[in-house]
Amino acid sequence: MSTASDLSFYLRPGGGLHGRLQVPGDKSISHRAVMLGAIADGVTRISGFLEGADSLATLGAFRAMGVPIEGPDGGQVHIAGVGLRGLRAPRSDLDLGNSGTSMRLLAGLLAGQRFATTLVGDPSLSKRPMRRVTEPLVRMGARIETTEPSTAPLRITPVAALRPISYALPVASAQVKSCLLLAGLYAAGETCVTEPAPIRDHTERMLTAFGHPVRRAGSRVCITGGGRLSACRLDIPGDISSAAFFLVGASIAPGSDLTLEHVGVNPTRLGVLNILRAMGADIQLTNPRDAGGESVADVRVRAAPLQGIVIPRDQVPLAIDEFPALFIAAACARGETLLTGAEELRVKESDRIRVMAEGLTVLGVEIKPRADGISIRGGDYGGGRVDSGGDHRVAMAFAMAALRAGAPLEIRDCANVNTSFPGFADLAAGVGLGIEEQWT
Protein backbone atom coordinates (compact mmCIF):
# COMPACT_ATOMS: atom_id res chain seq x y z
CA MET A 1 0.00 0.00 0.00
CA SER A 2 1.32 3.47 -0.91
CA THR A 3 2.35 5.91 1.77
CA ALA A 4 2.62 9.70 1.81
CA SER A 5 6.26 9.54 0.67
CA ASP A 6 5.77 7.22 -2.31
CA LEU A 7 4.78 9.69 -5.05
CA SER A 8 7.26 11.69 -7.10
CA PHE A 9 6.71 14.25 -9.86
CA TYR A 10 9.04 14.16 -12.88
CA LEU A 11 9.08 17.31 -14.98
CA ARG A 12 10.51 18.23 -18.36
CA PRO A 13 12.03 21.70 -18.49
CA GLY A 14 10.49 24.53 -20.48
CA GLY A 15 7.15 24.87 -22.23
CA GLY A 16 4.18 27.13 -21.58
CA LEU A 17 0.61 27.09 -20.26
CA HIS A 18 -2.33 27.65 -22.62
CA GLY A 19 -6.09 27.24 -22.63
CA ARG A 20 -8.78 27.27 -19.96
CA LEU A 21 -9.18 25.29 -16.77
CA GLN A 22 -11.07 25.27 -13.48
CA VAL A 23 -9.22 24.48 -10.28
CA PRO A 24 -10.95 22.48 -7.51
CA GLY A 25 -13.25 24.11 -4.98
CA ASP A 26 -11.90 26.35 -2.25
CA LYS A 27 -10.61 24.28 0.66
CA SER A 28 -11.25 26.91 3.33
CA ILE A 29 -14.85 27.35 2.20
CA SER A 30 -15.42 23.58 1.86
CA HIS A 31 -14.42 23.03 5.50
CA ARG A 32 -16.72 25.76 6.75
CA ALA A 33 -19.65 24.67 4.59
CA VAL A 34 -19.59 21.21 6.18
CA MET A 35 -19.21 22.54 9.73
CA LEU A 36 -22.04 25.07 9.52
CA GLY A 37 -24.27 22.80 7.44
CA ALA A 38 -23.91 20.10 10.11
CA ILE A 39 -25.17 22.34 12.93
CA ALA A 40 -27.85 24.11 10.87
CA ASP A 41 -31.53 23.20 10.76
CA GLY A 42 -32.55 21.63 7.44
CA VAL A 43 -30.69 20.23 4.44
CA THR A 44 -27.73 22.21 3.13
CA ARG A 45 -26.91 21.54 -0.52
CA ILE A 46 -23.32 22.19 -1.55
CA SER A 47 -21.87 22.27 -5.07
CA GLY A 48 -18.18 22.63 -5.92
CA PHE A 49 -17.05 20.82 -2.74
CA LEU A 50 -13.32 20.02 -2.72
CA GLU A 51 -12.93 16.24 -2.70
CA GLY A 52 -9.43 16.41 -1.23
CA ALA A 53 -8.17 14.55 1.82
CA ASP A 54 -8.34 17.58 4.15
CA SER A 55 -11.97 18.47 3.50
CA LEU A 56 -12.93 14.79 3.43
CA ALA A 57 -11.46 14.54 6.95
CA THR A 58 -13.89 17.24 8.08
CA LEU A 59 -16.74 15.41 6.37
CA GLY A 60 -15.76 12.16 8.11
CA ALA A 61 -15.62 13.85 11.52
CA PHE A 62 -19.23 15.03 11.28
CA ARG A 63 -20.41 11.67 9.98
CA ALA A 64 -18.79 10.19 13.09
CA MET A 65 -20.83 12.64 15.19
CA GLY A 66 -24.12 11.46 13.73
CA VAL A 67 -24.72 13.93 10.90
CA PRO A 68 -26.41 12.35 7.83
CA ILE A 69 -24.34 13.32 4.77
CA GLU A 70 -24.82 12.31 1.12
CA GLY A 71 -21.80 12.56 -1.18
CA PRO A 72 -19.47 13.87 -2.22
CA ASP A 73 -20.48 13.03 -5.78
CA GLY A 74 -18.99 15.26 -8.46
CA GLY A 75 -18.60 18.03 -5.92
CA GLN A 76 -22.19 17.71 -4.70
CA VAL A 77 -22.78 17.21 -0.96
CA HIS A 78 -26.10 17.17 0.90
CA ILE A 79 -25.97 17.63 4.68
CA ALA A 80 -29.01 17.01 6.89
CA GLY A 81 -28.16 19.41 9.69
CA VAL A 82 -28.82 18.35 13.28
CA GLY A 83 -29.00 21.83 14.79
CA LEU A 84 -26.73 23.67 17.18
CA ARG A 85 -27.09 21.03 19.92
CA GLY A 86 -27.68 17.92 17.83
CA LEU A 87 -24.16 16.49 17.46
CA ARG A 88 -23.51 13.15 19.19
CA ALA A 89 -20.39 11.78 20.85
CA PRO A 90 -18.19 9.89 18.37
CA ARG A 91 -17.32 6.28 19.19
CA SER A 92 -13.59 6.91 18.74
CA ASP A 93 -11.05 9.70 18.28
CA LEU A 94 -11.68 12.07 15.37
CA ASP A 95 -8.75 11.59 12.97
CA LEU A 96 -8.22 14.78 10.95
CA GLY A 97 -5.25 13.55 8.96
CA ASN A 98 -3.11 16.44 7.74
CA SER A 99 -5.74 19.16 8.14
CA GLY A 100 -4.80 21.98 10.49
CA THR A 101 -7.94 23.90 9.53
CA SER A 102 -10.13 20.96 10.58
CA MET A 103 -8.41 20.61 13.95
CA ARG A 104 -8.29 24.29 14.87
CA LEU A 105 -11.86 25.10 13.82
CA LEU A 106 -13.29 21.92 15.33
CA ALA A 107 -11.58 22.70 18.62
CA GLY A 108 -13.77 25.79 18.87
CA LEU A 109 -16.98 24.15 17.71
CA LEU A 110 -16.54 21.13 20.01
CA ALA A 111 -15.45 23.09 23.10
CA GLY A 112 -19.10 23.92 23.78
CA GLN A 113 -20.58 20.45 23.21
CA ARG A 114 -22.00 18.25 25.95
CA PHE A 115 -19.73 15.30 25.21
CA ALA A 116 -16.01 14.58 25.23
CA THR A 117 -13.94 14.32 22.07
CA THR A 118 -10.31 13.73 21.16
CA LEU A 119 -8.84 15.22 17.99
CA VAL A 120 -5.85 13.46 16.44
CA GLY A 121 -3.88 13.83 13.22
CA ASP A 122 -0.99 12.50 11.17
CA PRO A 123 2.65 13.06 12.23
CA SER A 124 2.82 16.43 10.47
CA LEU A 125 -0.38 17.78 12.04
CA SER A 126 0.71 16.42 15.42
CA LYS A 127 3.73 18.76 15.35
CA ARG A 128 1.82 21.96 14.58
CA PRO A 129 1.18 24.51 17.33
CA MET A 130 -2.27 24.44 18.94
CA ARG A 131 -1.73 26.84 21.85
CA ARG A 132 -2.93 29.66 19.61
CA VAL A 133 -6.45 28.17 19.79
CA THR A 134 -6.37 26.36 23.14
CA GLU A 135 -5.25 29.41 25.13
CA PRO A 136 -8.21 31.66 24.21
CA LEU A 137 -10.62 28.71 24.41
CA VAL A 138 -9.49 28.05 27.98
CA ARG A 139 -10.19 31.72 28.70
CA MET A 140 -13.74 31.01 27.51
CA GLY A 141 -13.97 28.23 30.09
CA ALA A 142 -13.17 25.30 27.82
CA ARG A 143 -11.34 22.25 29.16
CA ILE A 144 -8.71 21.10 26.65
CA GLU A 145 -5.66 18.92 27.25
CA THR A 146 -2.72 18.78 24.83
CA THR A 147 0.80 17.41 24.85
CA GLU A 148 3.42 19.31 26.85
CA PRO A 149 4.49 21.39 23.79
CA SER A 150 0.79 22.20 23.14
CA THR A 151 0.32 19.95 20.14
CA ALA A 152 -2.25 17.29 19.23
CA PRO A 153 -3.93 15.16 20.37
CA LEU A 154 -6.49 17.61 21.75
CA ARG A 155 -8.69 16.12 24.46
CA ILE A 156 -11.82 18.20 24.95
CA THR A 157 -13.97 17.67 28.06
CA PRO A 158 -17.50 19.15 28.29
CA VAL A 159 -18.16 22.12 30.56
CA ALA A 160 -21.40 23.58 31.85
CA ALA A 161 -21.13 26.64 29.61
CA LEU A 162 -18.61 28.73 27.70
CA ARG A 163 -18.00 32.37 28.58
CA PRO A 164 -17.93 35.07 25.90
CA ILE A 165 -14.63 36.95 25.59
CA SER A 166 -13.09 39.84 23.71
CA TYR A 167 -9.82 38.65 22.21
CA ALA A 168 -7.14 40.51 20.26
CA LEU A 169 -5.35 38.11 17.91
CA PRO A 170 -1.58 38.25 18.56
CA VAL A 171 -0.97 37.15 14.94
CA ALA A 172 -3.19 37.44 11.87
CA SER A 173 -4.79 33.99 11.76
CA ALA A 174 -8.13 33.25 10.13
CA GLN A 175 -8.10 29.81 11.75
CA VAL A 176 -7.90 31.24 15.27
CA LYS A 177 -10.55 33.86 14.50
CA SER A 178 -12.88 31.22 13.07
CA CYS A 179 -12.25 28.87 16.00
CA LEU A 180 -13.35 31.54 18.48
CA LEU A 181 -16.39 32.60 16.45
CA LEU A 182 -17.56 28.97 16.30
CA ALA A 183 -17.01 28.62 20.05
CA GLY A 184 -18.94 31.87 20.46
CA LEU A 185 -22.04 30.15 19.07
CA TYR A 186 -22.10 28.19 22.36
CA ALA A 187 -21.29 31.08 24.74
CA ALA A 188 -23.92 33.11 26.61
CA GLY A 189 -23.31 36.61 25.31
CA GLU A 190 -21.16 38.34 22.69
CA THR A 191 -17.74 36.99 21.69
CA CYS A 192 -15.52 39.46 19.83
CA VAL A 193 -12.23 38.99 17.97
CA THR A 194 -9.98 41.87 16.92
CA GLU A 195 -7.71 41.37 13.92
CA PRO A 196 -4.20 42.89 13.82
CA ALA A 197 -4.48 43.03 10.02
CA PRO A 198 -7.18 42.09 7.47
CA ILE A 199 -7.51 38.29 7.18
CA ARG A 200 -9.83 35.99 5.28
CA ASP A 201 -13.47 36.34 6.30
CA HIS A 202 -15.08 33.17 4.94
CA THR A 203 -16.53 32.21 8.34
CA GLU A 204 -18.30 35.53 8.79
CA ARG A 205 -19.69 35.47 5.26
CA MET A 206 -20.93 31.92 5.66
CA LEU A 207 -22.50 32.50 9.06
CA THR A 208 -24.47 35.31 7.42
CA ALA A 209 -25.49 32.99 4.58
CA PHE A 210 -26.82 30.55 7.20
CA GLY A 211 -28.85 33.36 8.75
CA HIS A 212 -26.76 33.97 11.87
CA PRO A 213 -25.92 37.65 12.42
CA VAL A 214 -22.31 38.77 12.64
CA ARG A 215 -21.37 42.28 13.75
CA ARG A 216 -18.26 43.98 12.36
CA ALA A 217 -16.86 47.31 13.47
CA GLY A 218 -13.53 48.08 11.82
CA SER A 219 -11.10 45.31 12.75
CA ARG A 220 -13.45 43.85 15.38
CA VAL A 221 -15.79 40.94 14.60
CA CYS A 222 -18.48 39.85 17.07
CA ILE A 223 -21.01 37.04 17.34
CA THR A 224 -23.73 36.40 19.93
CA GLY A 225 -24.23 32.86 21.20
CA GLY A 226 -27.37 30.81 20.85
CA GLY A 227 -29.87 31.30 18.07
CA ARG A 228 -30.04 28.97 15.10
CA LEU A 229 -28.57 28.44 11.68
CA SER A 230 -30.84 27.78 8.69
CA ALA A 231 -29.79 25.45 5.88
CA CYS A 232 -28.97 27.03 2.52
CA ARG A 233 -27.48 26.33 -0.91
CA LEU A 234 -23.76 26.96 -1.36
CA ASP A 235 -21.77 27.13 -4.60
CA ILE A 236 -18.09 26.87 -3.68
CA PRO A 237 -15.78 28.74 -6.08
CA GLY A 238 -12.38 27.57 -7.27
CA ASP A 239 -9.63 27.95 -4.68
CA ILE A 240 -7.39 30.95 -5.36
CA SER A 241 -4.63 29.15 -3.42
CA SER A 242 -4.76 26.38 -6.03
CA ALA A 243 -5.06 28.89 -8.86
CA ALA A 244 -1.89 30.59 -7.59
CA PHE A 245 0.37 27.88 -9.02
CA PHE A 246 -1.05 28.43 -12.50
CA LEU A 247 -0.96 32.22 -12.11
CA VAL A 248 2.77 31.96 -11.42
CA GLY A 249 3.36 29.30 -14.08
CA ALA A 250 1.70 31.30 -16.85
CA SER A 251 3.47 34.48 -15.71
CA ILE A 252 6.97 32.99 -15.91
CA ALA A 253 6.66 30.72 -19.00
CA PRO A 254 7.22 32.65 -22.26
CA GLY A 255 4.22 32.80 -24.57
CA SER A 256 1.72 31.54 -21.98
CA ASP A 257 -1.93 32.61 -22.10
CA LEU A 258 -4.19 30.88 -19.59
CA THR A 259 -7.69 31.53 -18.24
CA LEU A 260 -8.79 30.16 -14.87
CA GLU A 261 -12.57 29.94 -14.60
CA HIS A 262 -14.85 30.53 -11.58
CA VAL A 263 -12.09 31.49 -9.13
CA GLY A 264 -12.94 32.89 -5.70
CA VAL A 265 -11.67 36.48 -5.47
CA ASN A 266 -12.69 37.30 -1.92
CA PRO A 267 -11.02 40.66 -1.09
CA THR A 268 -9.27 39.08 1.91
CA ARG A 269 -7.59 36.51 -0.38
CA LEU A 270 -6.20 38.78 -3.11
CA GLY A 271 -2.65 39.10 -1.79
CA VAL A 272 -1.27 36.77 -4.45
CA LEU A 273 -2.82 38.87 -7.23
CA ASN A 274 -1.64 42.13 -5.67
CA ILE A 275 1.93 40.86 -5.24
CA LEU A 276 2.18 39.37 -8.73
CA ARG A 277 0.82 42.55 -10.28
CA ALA A 278 3.35 44.60 -8.30
CA MET A 279 6.03 42.37 -9.84
CA GLY A 280 4.70 43.16 -13.32
CA ALA A 281 2.38 40.20 -13.98
CA ASP A 282 -0.31 40.55 -16.66
CA ILE A 283 -3.48 39.44 -14.85
CA GLN A 284 -7.04 40.41 -15.73
CA LEU A 285 -10.29 39.62 -13.90
CA THR A 286 -13.34 39.14 -16.12
CA ASN A 287 -16.97 38.11 -15.67
CA PRO A 288 -17.22 39.15 -12.00
CA ARG A 289 -20.17 37.69 -10.11
CA ASP A 290 -21.41 36.52 -6.70
CA ALA A 291 -21.63 32.90 -5.51
CA GLY A 292 -23.19 32.36 -2.09
CA GLY A 293 -21.83 35.60 -0.68
CA GLU A 294 -18.36 35.10 -2.18
CA SER A 295 -16.91 37.17 -5.04
CA VAL A 296 -16.05 35.09 -8.12
CA ALA A 297 -14.40 35.89 -11.46
CA ASP A 298 -12.54 34.36 -14.38
CA VAL A 299 -8.81 35.15 -14.25
CA ARG A 300 -6.72 35.53 -17.41
CA VAL A 301 -2.93 35.54 -17.05
CA ARG A 302 -0.35 36.01 -19.79
CA ALA A 303 3.42 35.75 -19.64
CA ALA A 304 5.20 38.93 -18.60
CA PRO A 305 8.68 39.95 -17.42
CA LEU A 306 8.67 40.05 -13.63
CA GLN A 307 10.65 42.42 -11.40
CA GLY A 308 11.81 41.72 -7.85
CA ILE A 309 10.07 43.78 -5.16
CA VAL A 310 9.95 44.33 -1.43
CA ILE A 311 6.68 42.57 -0.57
CA PRO A 312 4.44 44.97 1.39
CA ARG A 313 3.88 43.68 4.91
CA ASP A 314 0.17 44.42 4.71
CA GLN A 315 -0.10 41.86 1.90
CA VAL A 316 1.54 39.04 3.85
CA PRO A 317 -1.57 37.80 5.72
CA LEU A 318 -3.58 38.09 2.47
CA ALA A 319 -1.21 35.68 0.69
CA ILE A 320 0.15 33.47 3.46
CA ASP A 321 -0.79 30.18 1.75
CA GLU A 322 0.46 31.31 -1.66
CA PHE A 323 4.08 32.12 -0.80
CA PRO A 324 5.58 28.83 -2.04
CA ALA A 325 4.28 29.71 -5.51
CA LEU A 326 5.35 33.35 -5.11
CA PHE A 327 8.89 32.21 -4.23
CA ILE A 328 9.07 30.60 -7.68
CA ALA A 329 7.92 33.87 -9.27
CA ALA A 330 10.69 35.63 -7.36
CA ALA A 331 13.27 33.11 -8.63
CA CYS A 332 12.29 34.10 -12.20
CA ALA A 333 12.14 37.86 -11.61
CA ARG A 334 14.85 40.39 -12.39
CA GLY A 335 16.59 41.56 -9.22
CA GLU A 336 15.84 40.79 -5.59
CA THR A 337 12.53 40.00 -3.89
CA LEU A 338 12.41 40.48 -0.12
CA LEU A 339 9.78 38.99 2.19
CA THR A 340 9.58 39.87 5.89
CA GLY A 341 6.90 39.53 8.55
CA ALA A 342 6.02 35.98 7.50
CA GLU A 343 6.94 33.94 10.61
CA GLU A 344 3.69 32.00 10.10
CA LEU A 345 5.34 30.15 7.19
CA ARG A 346 7.54 28.35 9.71
CA VAL A 347 4.56 26.44 11.20
CA LYS A 348 2.58 25.33 8.17
CA GLU A 349 2.48 21.74 6.82
CA SER A 350 6.24 22.16 6.77
CA ASP A 351 8.62 24.96 7.67
CA ARG A 352 7.96 26.52 4.27
CA ILE A 353 10.81 28.98 4.48
CA ARG A 354 13.33 26.24 5.18
CA VAL A 355 11.94 23.67 2.71
CA MET A 356 11.56 26.19 -0.12
CA ALA A 357 15.04 27.57 0.56
CA GLU A 358 16.55 24.08 0.41
CA GLY A 359 14.81 23.33 -2.89
CA LEU A 360 15.73 26.65 -4.46
CA THR A 361 19.34 26.05 -3.44
CA VAL A 362 19.26 22.70 -5.28
CA LEU A 363 18.14 24.55 -8.41
CA GLY A 364 20.96 27.08 -8.02
CA VAL A 365 18.86 30.09 -7.02
CA GLU A 366 20.55 32.71 -4.83
CA ILE A 367 18.57 32.88 -1.58
CA LYS A 368 19.00 34.14 1.99
CA PRO A 369 16.51 32.73 4.50
CA ARG A 370 15.49 34.93 7.41
CA ALA A 371 13.68 34.11 10.64
CA ASP A 372 10.56 35.84 9.32
CA GLY A 373 11.00 35.55 5.56
CA ILE A 374 13.51 35.26 2.75
CA SER A 375 15.36 37.20 0.07
CA ILE A 376 15.50 35.69 -3.42
CA ARG A 377 17.57 36.97 -6.32
CA GLY A 378 16.07 35.92 -9.62
CA GLY A 379 17.92 34.56 -12.62
CA ASP A 380 18.51 31.41 -14.63
CA TYR A 381 18.44 28.13 -12.72
CA GLY A 382 18.83 24.43 -13.37
CA GLY A 383 17.10 21.23 -12.37
CA GLY A 384 17.72 18.43 -9.94
CA ARG A 385 15.99 16.50 -7.18
CA VAL A 386 13.91 18.48 -4.69
CA ASP A 387 12.23 17.17 -1.54
CA SER A 388 8.85 18.76 -0.84
CA GLY A 389 8.91 17.79 2.83
CA GLY A 390 5.50 16.21 2.34
CA ASP A 391 4.02 19.70 1.82
CA HIS A 392 1.42 19.88 -0.96
CA ARG A 393 1.99 23.56 -1.74
CA VAL A 394 5.77 23.17 -1.91
CA ALA A 395 5.40 20.25 -4.34
CA MET A 396 3.09 22.15 -6.68
CA ALA A 397 5.24 25.29 -6.53
CA PHE A 398 8.35 23.44 -7.66
CA ALA A 399 6.34 21.74 -10.41
CA MET A 400 5.76 25.20 -11.91
CA ALA A 401 9.47 26.02 -11.52
CA ALA A 402 10.15 23.45 -14.28
CA LEU A 403 8.71 25.88 -16.84
CA ARG A 404 11.89 27.95 -16.52
CA ALA A 405 14.36 25.27 -15.43
CA GLY A 406 17.44 24.51 -17.48
CA ALA A 407 17.27 20.75 -16.81
CA PRO A 408 14.73 18.09 -15.73
CA LEU A 409 13.30 18.31 -12.24
CA GLU A 410 12.27 15.57 -9.82
CA ILE A 411 10.10 16.40 -6.81
CA ARG A 412 9.91 13.84 -4.00
CA ASP A 413 7.19 13.18 -1.39
CA CYS A 414 4.21 14.54 -3.33
CA ALA A 415 1.27 12.38 -2.22
CA ASN A 416 -0.06 15.11 0.07
CA VAL A 417 -0.94 17.15 -3.02
CA ASN A 418 -4.23 15.24 -2.80
CA THR A 419 -5.06 17.05 0.46
CA SER A 420 -5.88 20.22 -1.48
CA PHE A 421 -5.65 19.52 -5.23
CA PRO A 422 -6.66 16.03 -6.36
CA GLY A 423 -5.87 15.57 -10.05
CA PHE A 424 -3.26 18.34 -10.10
CA ALA A 425 -0.81 16.56 -12.40
CA ASP A 426 -3.44 15.64 -15.01
CA LEU A 427 -4.93 19.14 -15.02
CA ALA A 428 -1.49 20.76 -15.29
CA ALA A 429 -0.44 18.41 -18.10
CA GLY A 430 -3.64 19.29 -19.95
CA VAL A 431 -2.61 22.95 -20.25
CA GLY A 432 1.02 22.27 -21.16
CA LEU A 433 3.12 21.38 -18.10
CA GLY A 434 5.50 18.49 -18.85
CA ILE A 435 4.70 16.47 -15.72
CA GLU A 436 4.52 12.75 -14.97
CA GLU A 437 3.69 10.97 -11.73
CA GLN A 438 5.53 7.89 -10.47
CA TRP A 439 4.70 5.77 -7.42
CA THR A 440 7.58 3.81 -5.93
Q: Do residues 419 and 52 lie in contact, with contact meaning Cβ atoms separated by under 8 Å?
A: yes
Report how far residue 311's alpha carbon sits from residue 320's, in angstroms, rounded to the nearest whole number.
12
Q: Which of 26, 298, 321, 391 is catalytic?
A: 321
119 - beta bridge partners? 94, 154
Question: DSSP characters for 10-41?
Answer: EE-S----EEEE-PPBPHHHHHHHHHHHHTSE
- Contact present, 412 and 355 (Cβ < 8 Å): no
CA-wise closest residue to 130 among 160, 159, 90, 99: 99
The dihedrals phi and psi of 93, each to the nearest 5 degrees, come to -60, 150
Nearest Cα neighbor of 33 from 246, 379, 247, 293 is 293
Q: Could you tell me how far CA 8 lies from the centroid of its own chain?
A: 22
N-to-C CA span, the chain: 10
Q: What distance in Å separates the CA atoms of residue 342 and residue 326, rounded to the nearest whole number?
A: 13
Cβ atoms within 10 Å of 167's Cβ, excluding its own: 19
What does the alpha-carbon distance between residue 210 and residue 36 come to, in Å, rounded to a whole number? 8
User: Nearest to residue 192, comparing CAs of 169, 170, 175?
Assistant: 169
Residues 22, 262 contacting (CB under 8 angstroms): yes
Q: E strands, 56-153, where?
A: 69-73, 76-82, 94-95, 117-120, 143-145
Cis before 153 (ω within 30): yes
**351 in catalytic set:** no
- Reduced to 3 states (helix: H, G, I; strand: E, B; else coil), residue 367 is strand
* Cα 250 from Cα 265, distance rounded (Å): 18
Q: Can you tell me the distance from the alpha carbon of 186 to that of 301, in angstroms, rounded to the nearest whole number?
A: 44
CB 302, CB 259: distance < 8 Å: no
Helix (H) or strand (E) holding 271: helix 271-278
Point out the residues that are catalytic.
Answer: 321
